[in-house]
A and B are shown apart, each in its own frame.
Chain A
Amino acid sequence: MNPQSSTDLSHETAVHGHDDHHEEHHHDPPFWRKYVFSTDHKVIGIQYGITALLFLALGFFLMMVMRWSIAYPGRPVPFISHLPWFRVWLENGMVTGDLYNMFGAMHGTIMIFLGIVPLAFGAFGNYVTPLQIGAPDMAFPRLNMASYWSYLLGGVLMFASFFLPSGAAKAGWTNYSPLATTTDLSFGSLFWTGQTQWLLAMVFLISSSLLGAVNFITTIINLRCKGMTWMRMPFFVWAMLVTGFLLLLAFPPLEVAAIMQLMDRMAGTSFFVPSGLFVNGQFFNAAGGGSPLLYQHLFWFLGHPEVYVLILPAIAIVGEIIPNNTRKPLWGYKTMVYAVMVLGFLSFLVWAHHMYITGMGAGVSTFFQTVTVLISVPSVILITSILISMWGGSIRFNTPMLFATAFIPMFGIGGLTGLPLAFSMIDLHLHDTYYVIAHFHYVVAPGTLFGLFAGIYFWFPKQTGRRMSELLGHLHFWPSLLFMNGIFAPMFIQGMAGFHRRASDGGAAYERIAGQEFLEAGSFLSKIFKNGEAITMIDLNIVASVSAWCLAIAQVPFIINFFWSMTKGKKVNSNNPWDATTLEWSCPTPPPHGNFLKEPVAYRGPYEYSVPGAERDFTPQFEPDPESPQAPAEEELEVKGGH
């Protein structure tokens, strides 16, 4: 538990029997051991990162097809209608309800469980956390490897399910019973249907997260280097610790739910299936007596903490980049640490605000509304602390900082629009409308994703020894910011107008709602876009869809930048190209197996920028005081850590 004792572990954990001093004489492990079945947290982090980025691209592609169906229902999808797989699923080239539902379910599943969480927690968490606490690796390197491979297996299963005769899962990413239980029953083998494979894949993905969570918690508690007291941990590490606990405690209920639903499908149980269902004009053959709401409770008991699993790593990355680029300490570091703990705790007590419309009495809803509103307090503390950190800074706007800066208002919009949704009364109108879609996408897409992009630009030089191009970075950032808002801002308006989600025609069937006027006939914009006719609510679908496609184009500079900079980017001239203060910038570039050449020591807090009287505007954690070059005594460290 105490950081000083942990340093003894470093040799054992460093290279499994290798000795640091002999490292240079040892020949490298074979390729497959070093880059494929690696136990090195950095390689695993990169494996997670690459896989997650590929899945993010896939999830985004699904959405681009859906956006066509939403904006232009009844028109054949361009480009893809001749591809072999699509020929089966498109009807006269148009997206069918089944295809739309399949893509919708898989967009959510892929983005959350295969994209954002693995990128945020798996990639950044794995790569950065041990470096920042001065550890040679994760506490359980093999568990770490198992976690990645379990994730990959889950991902492959998920992806492969598209190619089954039934296609992939179609019951929404929430996979509510009884729809999830009664879908795709007509295919020969119940096992080889998308719905069943979704559940199996989820079991692998959840197991992967659990292994990761245990590993992170143990690593952060036990493997901190000398002097790395709790209050000297970078905020990023705190966020990872809390995220680890969220995953550890929230995921098991969903794993249980997935297995129970799997049994409902495969073994004839009825955990979530009530008696007397009458599906497709005939009685549904099931034991009955189950409760559909039980599934929702189990799902959202994970579902809400999961939101914070998505957000915290991004806030944490932004919390690293803002001090670095404002050249001043993170404002209210300690308050932020306590806020993130409170946030983590409260996130377990708000799940039923997803279920106000299932028939909730006054007592229960009072509790959930109160806690939901309460959780805004630590959230506001986190975001205002980061914002206030900028006051008095000397801000330099490089690409990581651009994304980190944009994160604040984007996440702010997402957070603020969560407030009305906290009230069950307002949910009577806004529940399951596009307002909700816009709200959580602002949190996760321009919010979390911008944080993650910032992190990629920020830590790229540590891994590759080269910086990413600033020009391409700007070309990536500005259009992304514009189009992200172009996609999601109109959804707030549509949601207020009563547009409900998951309609494959974008609400066209409900023409009396969809046809409401947004801008009156003859107004300036209506003259430009609709020959002077009134612009209706449903026309906003086109704004969002076109923005989505443009957003895809805006990612091209990033992709080019990513690969080009690996070999051609400007070389960094030191291990600490950003003049940063945390420990990861003290190790070689790229960090070798075992990370640090000599045992790292943390001499001070994580964000000592622009210290009065100091020579430079940054005083790294890993540099001893100029006056007392010897490492301070342990008692002294302990006392300092208390500040």
Chain B
Amino acid sequence: MHEIASEHGEELDHMLALVHWFMLILAVGWGIFMIYVLIRFNARRNKKASYSGITNHFSTHVEMGVVIVEVVLLLGFAFPLWAARVEKFPDSPDVVKVRAVGQQFLWTFHYAGKDGMMGQVDLDEINAGGNPVGLVREPNALDDFAVPNTLKLPKGRRVIVQVTSKDVIHGLALVPMMIQQDAIPGQEVPMWFTPTKTGEWDIVCAQLCGASHGQMKATLEVVEPEEYDAWVESQPPMLKPEAPEKTAGAASPESSKGAVASN
């Protein structure tokens, strides 16, 4: 129906088609039965009703058939595909790690930067200029950068997006990636996928979040890996290098505690 640009999207689409074929067969079968009955047993055509009606067990067989197909769908598709989504998170150095932080009404995408290690965050650290996600000053955080409203990803590399929110529940829906995740304040939930096509698409907010929910728009951009790497290189880090050392030191113990709590 629309462009599919992720690896698991193909599997999902396959399953979706399968379920719909099954539904269509049932609907057409029942529909033909019903239309036949309505015509054949119209009072004008059939003056005397039968007390017993159908006496065979055909409907029981249909019901059994339905159950068997449903079991196949569950065991063959639903369980393994879902397990791959939520239990087998990729873990290798080339995995792209992003935090998506929702707020009324924009998304901030916090990248792990060149080191591939996501810095700690603490909402107490949020300040108006340059640190919208509350990044704490610690070694992993130094090269982290943030981009408002654009999620740029390389084609063909696995991506883990940690989805969270600063205020109310939002939903990060990447339609062509066939994936979405609620952004729930107070917790971070990861989702992963592998983009397979380059392109530019809309990111939809999937959970009612206030007056401008329908316009809470961001862009998903998938580019060639080389272009992506160059882009990462060129991004200025969120934390300015010259920030005074002592404030950071004072904030650390307290904020690391806060960070654990917010996970």
Contact = CB atoms under 8 A, between A and B. Distances in A.
Interface of A: 96-98, 100-101, 104, 170-172, 176, 178-179, 182-183, 274-281, 283-284, 291-293, 326-329, 331, 357-362, 365-366, 369-370, 373, 376-377, 380-381, 384-385, 387-397, 405, 408-409, 412-413, 416-417, 419-420, 423-426, 428-432, 493, 496-498, 500, 502-505, 507, 509-513, 516, 609-612, 617
Interface in B9-35: 9, 11-12, 15-16, 19-20, 22-23, 26-27, 30-31, 33-34
26 contacts: A171-B208, A179-B208, A274-B187, A276-B262, A277-B167, A281-B128, A293-B184, A357-B180, A357-B206, A362-B87, A369-B74, A387-B30, A387-B33, A390-B37, A394-B46, A397-B42, A409-B34, A425-B85, A426-B19, A431-B180, A432-B207, A509-B214, A509-B217, A512-B202, A609-B49, A617-B49
Contacts of B205: 500
Contacts of B42: 395, 397
B10 to A, nearest CB: 12
Contacts of B46: 392-395
B49 A331 contact: no
A278 B123 contact: yes
Contact of B202 (A387, A417, A432, A513): A513
Interface stretch (B112-120, B168-176, B234-242, B246-254): B168-176
A384 B65 CA distance: 14
Indicate the member of A172, A369, A426 with the most B CB atoms within 10 Å: A426
Interface of B: 1-2, 9, 11-12, 15-16, 19-20, 22-23, 26-27, 30-31, 33-34, 37-38, 41-43, 46-54, 59, 62-63, 66-67, 70, 73-74, 77-79, 81-83, 85-87, 103-104, 123-124, 126, 128, 166-169, 171, 173, 175-176, 178-182, 184-187, 189, 200-202, 204-215, 217, 258, 261-262
A431 B50 contact: no
Contact of B201 (A182, A328, A369, A512): A512
A423 B15 contact: yes
Contact of B23 (A170, A419, A511): A419
A431 B189 contact: no
Contact of A497 (B1, B12, B19, B182): B1
Contact of B34 (A96, A104, A280, A408): A408
Contacts of B181: 357, 359
Contact of B87 (A172, A179, A358, A361): A361
Nearest to A291: B186
Contact of B186 (A276, A385, A431): A276
A331 B62 CA distance: 16
Give the top 7 A-B pairs by smallest Cβ distance, nearest first: A274-B186, A503-B214, A359-B189, A498-B175, A97-B211, A392-B50, A276-B123
Contact of A326 (B41, B77, B104, B207): B41
Contact of B2 (A276, A428, A513, A611): A513
